[in-house]
Amino acid sequence: MLETLELETGPRPTAAVIWLHGLGADGHDFEPIVPELDLPDAPAVRFVFPHAPLMAVTINGGAVMRAWYDVYNAGGVRREDDAGIRASQQSVESLIAREKTRGARRIVLAGFSQGGAIALQTGLRHGEPLAGIMALSTYLPLAAALAAEASDANRRVPILMAHGRHDPLIPVERATISRDTLRKAGYDVEWHDYAMEHSVSAEEIGDIAAWLRRVLS
């Protein structure tokens, strides 16, 4: 089980948000956002912020940092770390299972950058209905495998995608391709973009809060 940081908005939470950080960060990265969301008292929500494993990241010169999967180029072409992505998917599945045993009836998977990719990877394949998937400043990983692996249980899951129009790390065009791929496959994707880089803005936090209120109510 991944190590986690947890915050609860009230006693005996019946909803959970599992929020995955980006490359090189840790579970503390999005902890300060929770009070800014100003969620209603009911239902009480448990926010679970996992720490990704430490690993050497090829694209960063082999430096060891927290990452959900490796990032590397082969012959000048970025190649996806299939094994690493699927290993993180299984780790997040374990977190989902734990939240269910703790009484969470509605569960949202959320993530930023690499974390958002794992939220999409896991949520779209999860075998029971989720309350929502939130994918911030990210893209759809292993897109070619989705049609064969998607779970019918989450064909109608609400998906929030948000991205900075000036993102230098994951260009917004890569995110819109992912958005369009999901929409063509029949998924309900709410899209927002902002005049920012690879970050989170106050306007985006407001949109996240409104979306969470809807899917957790």
Query: What is the pLDDT, as a whole number, of residue 73?
Result: 75
C-alpha pair distances (Å), 128 with each of 5, 120, 142, 159, 213: 24, 14, 21, 15, 21
Q: How many folded domains does the chain comprise?
A: 1
C-alpha pair distances (Å), 110 with each of 21, 57, 133: 9, 22, 6
Instruction: Reply yes or no on whether 167 is catalytic.
Output: yes
Instruction: Reply yes or no on whether 151 is catalytic.
Output: no
Find the catalytic residue in 166, 198, 201, 207.
198
- Residue 94 structural domain: 4-216
Find the catalytic residue in 29, 70, 81, 167.
167
Find the catalytic residue in 88, 91, 113, 178.
113
For 161, the enclosing helix (H) or strand (E) is strand 158-164
Query: What is the pLDDT, as a whole number, of residue 76?
Result: 60
Query: What is the pLDDT, as a whole number, of residue 32?
Result: 96
Instruction: Reply yes or no on whether 51 is catalytic.
Output: no
pTM passes above 0.75: yes
Query: What is the pLDDT, as a whole number, of residue 163?
Result: 98
Q: Mean pLDDT for each consecutive 10-residue tract of the chain (217 residues)?
A: 96 97 97 96 96 96 97 75 97 98 97 98 98 98 97 98 97 97 97 98 97 96
Report the CATH number at residue 98. 3.40.50.1820
Spatial contact of 99 and 4, defined as CB atoms under 8 Å apart:
no
